[in-house]
Structure 1
Amino acid sequence: MRTGWIRDCSRVGVALIAVFAGASIHAAKPSPPFIVDPYPSTYRSLPRTDTLIVDVTILDGAGARIDRGEILLRDGRIAAVGRGLPRDNATVVQGKGRWVTPGIIDVHSHNGTYVLPLTSMDRKASDVSETSDPNVADTWIEHAVNPQDPAFAVALRSGVTTLQILPGSTPLFSGRSVVVKPVPATNVRAMKFPGAVQGLKMSCGENAKSYFGDKDQAPNSRQGEIAIVREAFLRAQEYRDEWRAYSNGKGKQPPKRDLKLDTLAAVLDGDIPVHMHCYRASDMTAMLGVAEEFGFKIAAFHHATEAYKIPAQLKQAGTCIAVWSDWWGFKMELLDAIRDNAAMADAAGVCTMMHSDSPIVGQRLQIEAAKAAGAGRRAGLDLPPEHVIKWVTSTPAKLLRLGDRIGTLAPGFNADLVLWSGDPFSIYTKPDRVFIDGAVVYDSAEPARSPESDFGLGRPEMGGRP
């Protein structure tokens, strides 16, 4: 009798094990692999010491200005901002006559993939765009980045502490972006901003229809572009639904992986923000319509030279603009560009920021902001420095979904900041020191510590010292 009881218990045990094993197997079904990053950041901050900068004009990036202010950096973060802060054991930096701002953030860079002057001499040196198809959403620009591009060192010495590297704008779907810190490295993973999300670069307008149309491929018109984009998102909806069904136990086999659809499904889920190259107001409104149709958001239109014509639509959609101050005339889409664009959009409540799109402009983003603000002031708009600095600090930080970590000088934020020799919006001002995570990564008083590429040495046009 006892033997039979043991045998029955064993059967029950086996059954329970099978039940639990089945439950484990079901629970172990992978979630949709849309935003899995098999190439995580290996970035490590440099050695740092607690630092107190005193007697400076502070623009905190959130709209405040503190004259004769102080800022305390501790353990790689901002510990306090104000006046009369405790010295403790911090190294004191006297900043009389100088200004402090958050580190500059460039949301539209091609550093490492469009290397000057090489690319200007031979376009085969460029990896900025994969042009084999109008849809290359499966590509990741980080796989093309050359960390030895001297533009990174120049950007750092210019006060830039964070960059988003985007693919080029020839395809309609150009691929995923990467957010980096411009620190010396031999591989891009050592530059990747830990925890930063990828973006998807898209384009509309002249580029795709001209490039592919000249090769007798689709698209060769704006309506053709929209049709291709809609078809791609239609497939992405189906793909996402298949993965959801599988994850909910409604299928034994996972859907066949499609790297392009991985990216587009992540856009539909809101996990990958869209950064769209677009100039004309008509093109922007057309793409806003597609986004509404498929239920995703365009995070920002880049270039957006006619944003001043459609501020209500942009504000309603919650779509930002990332712009230059005064690029125009090099293509038909730019014929209605005006210098007041950024200031007018900003005054209308549109989330507004500056971008570079060029390693040359990337050295002077705060001057881009100054020029745009100057145009706005001439139009009668009130644009004090404490507001304009947001265009290159806290606003781009929020666009990159890093607004709780960088772009603002406040307790708990990463200690990414610039000590300027004077008013940062003056062409005569230069960074004296640049901090990333509280570490001094550039000091104008110690040239030997300055990051420099042999390629840039002696080339003033590349920012190198003669």
Structure 2
Amino acid sequence: MGALATIASALALSACATTGSSGDTASASAKSDDKAFAATPAGEPVFASTYKPFPNIATALTGATVYDGKGGKIENGTVFFSGGKIVAVGGPDTPIPADIAVFDGTGKFVTPGIIDIHSHLGDYPSPGVQAHSDGNEATAPTTPEVWAEHSVWPQDPGFSRALANGGVTALQILPGSANLMGGRSVTLKNVPARTVQGMKFPGAPYSMKMACGENPKRVYGSKGRMPSTRMGNLAVNRETWLGAIDYANDPKAKRDLGKETLVGVLKGEILIQNHCYRADEMALVLDMAKEMGYKVAAFHHAVEAYKIGDLLRENDVCSAIWADWYGFKMESYDGILENAAFLQREGACVVIHSDDQNDIQRLNQEAAKAQAAGLRLGMDIPDATVIQWLTFNAAKAMGIDKMTGSLEVGKMADVVLWNGDPLSVYSRPEKVWIDGALMFDAMNPKIRPVSDFELGQPGEGDVK
């Protein structure tokens, strides 16, 4: 860890040397009429969010069954939000002001907005054609310099479908898994916008996508280059991390976008989201993380996570998993339907993710399938806990749990009113609020946002 202690000071010196922010630039400018050019110094905000909440009004939902996203359940509950924030959550006696919008939720259910920790919407948008395939920079085994947001197409109709059909209010867009280090992710608010920066979740940390196992060794081994084996995967990763540590400790290093991302991980500013199927490989990744001094936020897909639930709990690592995808390649053969249930029994963090433009529209049903698989083995997991798999746990693994993911006073009013039990195949969102703004209303055709791509098609948009 001694090598990492000087990262912050080394980066500051590196930024000065790279951008000409020292006195050298000023003296050079004084001697010449030439204009001095300098990039934004490393560490300063670039591609900043321009997201602004949509207009909202004070609103109360009353009489519904409320799941707070952290394992709590309130019958005949009340949720009151104003100014884009949750103001009160409680029972029928919860005071609410007069003259505000009140929706009767009798017989209905309220949850926090659903959060998908693993999506490729915008990077692999619909329609799925080669011209839109922008999720994998499969030109080198490590590409930490690329950012998923620079491929996001905001017009992807998948965004509005995830909102309307799945109650998804926030989602993390990840690069693909061809590479050992695929680049930075971006967390988005699921709102219509002309630019990706208009969707970018304010204050959300970046993550870096990593992958182990079959994908990188197949992609690059087939090109006759390293890695072509699992031991090659680990070797390339370790060499890359060592290079990042050297970069951080070299005050004269030339600015390197990839190493900037890696140093951000080592400093704890950028999270790690790691595609990994097999239990033995997850354990090796945790060893590598300890060696290099970073933390894994979540293993994604993690079909064998049930084998090491105790290890994942002890290392405070979430498992972002499917309910029942398995057997489609060798490393997924040991996937079982009870994966989530066994992890929950061990006290490990469970997240249900999509990795698919269709599954993102029914994550509530995927969670219910995983719950049912556990029940068949005698593990009766409460509904309120299962909702947590889709809300707070996802927010935790994405580093946004202080802002959203649960119905708590002061958090963003990202709220879904369901027309029935959200864990029933027959239920769907009736209304969805993001930062207190009503973004979808199944009862009002004028509040059903659609992508620009769909405007003009029969039945979509306000077509005369």
Pairwise CA distance, 1:116? 2.9
Deviations 1:97-133 (A, max 9, x none): 11000000000000001123323xxx34300110110
Gaps of 5+ in 1: 1-23, 247-253
Aligned residue among 370, 377, 380 for 1:379: 377
Q: How does 1:393-408 map to 2 (within 5 A)?
A: 393-408=391-406
Are residue 112 (structure 1) and residue 122 (structure 2) matched? yes
Number of the residue aligned with 2:299 = 301
Number of the residue aligned with 2:88 = 80
Pairwise CA distance, 1:33? 6.0
C-alpha separation between the residues in 1 aligned to 2:269 and 2:359? 30
Number of the residue aligned with 1:56 = 64
Look up the SS of the partner of 1:372 in the other structure: helix
C-alpha separation between the residues in 1 aligned to 2:402 and 2:267? 22
Deviations 1:322-349 (A, max 9, x none): 0000001211111000000011012101
Is the 1:71–1:81 Cα contact (8 Å) retained in structure 2?
Answer: yes
Aligned residue among 169, 172, 175 for 1:161: 169
C-alpha separation between the residues in 2 aligned to 1:291 and 1:285? 10
Look up the SS of the partner of 2:249 in the other structure: helix
Is the 1:198–1:272 Cα contact (8 Å) retained in structure 2?
Answer: yes
Is the 1:50–1:89 Cα contact (8 Å) retained in structure 2?
Answer: no
Are residue 131 (structure 1) and residue 138 (structure 2) matched? yes
Pairwise CA distance, 1:459? 9.6
Number of the residue aligned with 2:189 = 181
Are residue 46 (structure 1) and residue 44 (structure 2) matched? no
Aligned residue among 145, 149, 158 for 1:142: 149
- Larger-gyration structure (1/2): 1
Is the 1:35–1:271 Cα contact (8 Å) retained in structure 2?
Answer: no
C-alpha separation between the residues in 2 aligned to 1:377 and 1:34? 51
Look up the SS of the partner of 1:54 in the other structure: strand
Number of the residue aligned with 1:334 = 332
Aligned residue among 230, 233, 236 for 1:228: 236
Aligned residue among 423, 432, 435 for 1:434: 432
Q: How does 1:212-251 map to 2 (within 5 A)?
A: 212-242=220-250, 246=251
Are residue 67 (structure 1) and residue 65 (structure 2) matched? no
Number of the residue aligned with 2:108 = 98
Is the 2:154–2:192 Cα contact (8 Å) retained in structure 1?
Answer: yes
Pairwise CA distance, 1:313? 1.7
C-alpha separation between the residues in 1 aligned to 2:385 and 2:279? 26
C-alpha separation between the residues in 1 aligned to 2:49 and 2:155? 18
Is the 2:155–2:452 Cα contact (8 Å) retained in structure 1?
Answer: no
C-alpha separation between the residues in 2 aligned to 1:459 and 1:382? 45
Are residue 193 (structure 1) and residue 196 (structure 2) matched? no
C-alpha separation between the residues in 2 aligned to 1:180 and 1:266? 20
C-alpha separation between the residues in 2 aligned to 1:410 and 1:324? 27
Coordinate RMSD, CA, aligned: 2.2
Number of the residue aligned with 1:317 = 315
Q: How does 1:207-286 map to 2 (within 5 A)?
A: 207-242=215-250, 246=251, 254-286=252-284
Pairwise CA distance, 1:458? 11
Gaps of 5+ in 2: 1-21, 25-37
Identity of aligned residues (%): 46
Is the 1:34–1:263 Cα contact (8 Å) retained in structure 2?
Answer: no
Look up the SS of the partner of 1:118 in the other structure: coil
Look up the SS of the partner of 1:364 in the other structure: helix
Residues 375 and 33 of structure 1: is their aligned pair in 2 closer, same or farther, counting only changes over 3 Å? farther
Pairwise CA distance, 1:453? 2.9
C-alpha separation between the residues in 1 aligned to 2:202 and 2:54? 15
Number of the residue aligned with 1:360 = 358
Look up the SS of the partner of 1:413 in the other structure: coil
C-alpha separation between the residues in 1 aligned to 2:244 and 2:313? 27
Residues 99 and 35 of structure 1: is their aligned pair in 2 closer, same or farther, counting only changes over 3 Å? farther
C-alpha separation between the residues in 1 aligned to 2:131 and 2:211? 22
Q: Given residue 96 of structure 1, which amino acid in structure 2 is its aligned partner?
A: T
Look up the SS of the partner of 1:349 in the other structure: coil
Is the 2:415–2:434 Cα contact (8 Å) retained in structure 1?
Answer: yes
Q: Given residue 161 of structure 1, which amino acid in structure 2 is its aligned partner?
A: T
Look up the SS of the partner of 1:310 in the other structure: helix
Residues 412 and 306 of structure 1: is their aligned pair in 2 closer, same or farther, counting only changes over 3 Å? same
Deviations 1:343-375 (A, max 9, x none): 101210111111110111100111111111111
Aligned residue among 346, 349, 369 for 1:348: 346
Is the 2:192–2:451 Cα contact (8 Å) retained in structure 1?
Answer: no
C-alpha separation between the residues in 2 aligned to 1:320 and 1:432? 30
TM-score w.r.t. length of structure 2: 0.88
Q: Given residue 167 of structure 1, which amino acid in structure 2 is its aligned partner?
A: P
Deviations 1:224-263 (A, max 9, x none): 1110000000011111122xxx4xxxxxxx4210111111
